[in-house]
Amino acid sequence: MVTLSIIKADTGGFVGHTAVHPDMMAEARREMTRGIESGLLIDGHVASCGDDVSLIMTHTYGPDADLIHSFAWDTFQATTHIAKELGLYGAGQDLLSDAFSGNLRGMGPGYAELEFEERPSDPVICFLADKTEPGAWNLPLYKMFADPFNTAGLVIDQKMHAGFTFEVYDLYEEKRIFFDCPAELYEMLMYIGAPARYVIHSVRSKTLDETAAATSTQRLSLIAGKYVGKDDPVMIVRCQSGLPAVGEVLEPFTFAYGVAGCMRGSHHAPLMPVSSGDAHPSRFDGPPRVVALGFQLHDGKLIGPRDLFADPAFDRAREQANEAMDYFRRHGPFEPHRLPLEDLEYTTMTILTKRLASRWTPMTTELATAGTSRS
């Protein structure tokens, strides 16, 4: 069995929240090389999207492994050190705890991990997003694994016909449920259509009895109890031979659908699929970006990456994202650009509620006419 882990954190932005400084990337790569040479990792690749560093690693320790998580934690400490030396923005932003204890749960960094028996040829795609939250994967996962208008294999591949089981988390109440699809599609949509709370954690093939996809499902603000940046989630999707083909996995991103995030984590904006070179959200800290790094796994080695959105076929989605961004921006501080009050990551409402409490008076008829010049 091999485990593919993506562990990611924002340990400082260059400039503001737009990118990771090259010196931090170099440091993470040095650590990764050490991890491979020491025999801890089979292979590893360091990538970034916006201001988040992703450690893409293969190993044999399974998910939630102390050794792997502490390796990632130490690496993020090292990149934070550089961010501090250079005075980068929000150095150590996602490291919410001072000391590592066992695994990264509740500590700030996000992670998606999948353990499986490697197939003779095993194509996987690592998706990395910036300026959005884990529920951003709900719509594309639904399309990949449940929508026959997206995924032809659901109709014409015998190994996909039986469908997939979706594991959905309720992030507010820390519960989970499994939906058997297609039978329970409508039930599932009622939940996953509310992605701030309900998030697809994994997807499993009923025919192959194998997990096909896994996402990072942490909600930083729920962990920290206050805004400390968006989660900027990652996702692993395995492809082909009874799972959606690479092209079926990428197809949902031809639509620049709306997600929560962008400026101050408090706005709806379109998700823009981009090449690694364009994964630097600077306009209004957006539009939120997603990159897709394709690998062929071979004896646990990561053959790749291929920068899968570096394809003119996604130009139209990028144009659509720019158009939608203009449309949303013109709403300024109004919904639906600004998130509803309960989902705002930043708010002055608590202070205003106190300060203006005495100035709010009942809306009686008498008061409604007060101020007009009737005597």
Candidate list 43, 157, 191, 230, residue with the active-site label: 230
Identify whether the C-beta of residue 265 lies closer than 8 Å to the C-beta of residue 230. yes
44 binds, among Mg ion, ligand 13P, none (CB under 5 to 8 A by kind): none
- How near is the Cβ of 43 to ligand 13P at its closest, in Å? 23
Is 301 annotated in a binding site? The answer is no
Q: Establish whether 51 is an annotated binding residue.
A: yes
Q: Check the CA dihedral 98-102-105-110 and report its sign.
A: positive
Write down the least CB distance from residue 284 to ligand 13P, Å.
8
* Residue 70 annotated as lining a ligand binding site: no
Q: Output the CA torsion 330→140→194→210 (10° steps).
A: -160
Residue 111 annotated as binding site: no
Q: Is 230 a catalytic residue?
A: yes
- Residue 294 CA, distance from chain mean position: 17
Least distance from C-beta 220 to Mg ion, angstroms? 7
Rule CB under 6 A: is residue 245 a binding residue for ligand 13P? Answer: yes
SS3 129: strand
10 known ligand binder: yes
Both tokens assigned to 21:
């400084």
Catalytic residue among 206, 227, 257, 343: 227
Does residue number 264 form part of the binding site for ligand 13P (CB under 6 A)?
A: yes
- Note whether 200 and 168 are within 8 A (CB): yes
Residues 6+ apart with CB under 8 A from 339: 260, 266, 267, 268, 345
Choices 23-31, 54-62, 225-233, 308-316 (CB under 6 A): range interacting with ligand 13P: 225-233
Of residues 121, 116, 127, the one with CA closest to residue 49: 127
When binding is defined by CB under 6 A, the residue of 229, 258, 270, 287 that contacts ligand 13P is 229
Is 10 catalytic? The answer is yes
219 binds ligand 13P (CB under 6 A): no
CB 110 within 8 A of CB 9: yes
| β pairing state of 289-298 and 272-273 | parallel
Bond from prior residue into 290 cis (ω within 30 degrees of 0) = no
Query: Cα torsion for 315, 256, 244, 58, to the nearest 10°?
Result: 90
For CA atoms 283, 46, 113, 95, the dihedral sign is negative
Contact between 17 and ligand 13P by CB under 6 A: the answer reads yes
Options 31, 133, 285, 307; binder of ligand 13P; rule CB under 6 A: 285
Residue 233 binds ligand 13P (CB under 6 A)? no
Q: Does 280 bind ligand 13P (CB under 6 A)?
A: no
Distance from C-alpha of 29 to C-alpha of 22, rounded to nearest angstrom? 10
Member of 69, 230, 289, 337 binding ligand 13P (CB under 6 A): 230
Between CA 149 and CA 14, with CA 321 as vertex, the angle to 5 degrees is 125
SS3 289: strand
Minimum distance, C-beta of residue 276 to ligand 13P, in the bound complex (Å): 16
- Find the binder of ligand 13P among 19, 192, 263, 324 (CB under 6 A): 263
User: Which residue, among 233, 17, 241, has the nearest Cα to 139 in the 3D structure?
Assistant: 233
Tell me which amino acid residue 76 is. Answer: F
- Under rule CB under 6 A, residue 77 binds ligand 13P: no
- Binding-site annotation, residues for beta-D-fructose 1,6-bisphosphate: 17, 89, 102-103, 131, 240-241, 264, 285, 346
Q: Which residues bind ligand 13P (CB under 6 A)?
A: 10, 17, 50-51, 93, 130-131, 229-230, 232, 240-241, 245, 247, 263-265, 285
- Binding-site annotation, residues for dihydroxyacetone phosphate: 17, 131, 264, 285
Positions marked active-site: 10, 227, 230
- Binding-site annotation, residues: 10, 17, 51-52, 89, 93, 102-103, 130-131, 230-232, 240-241, 264, 285, 346
- Binding-site annotation, residues for Mg(2+): 10, 17, 51-52, 93, 130, 230-232
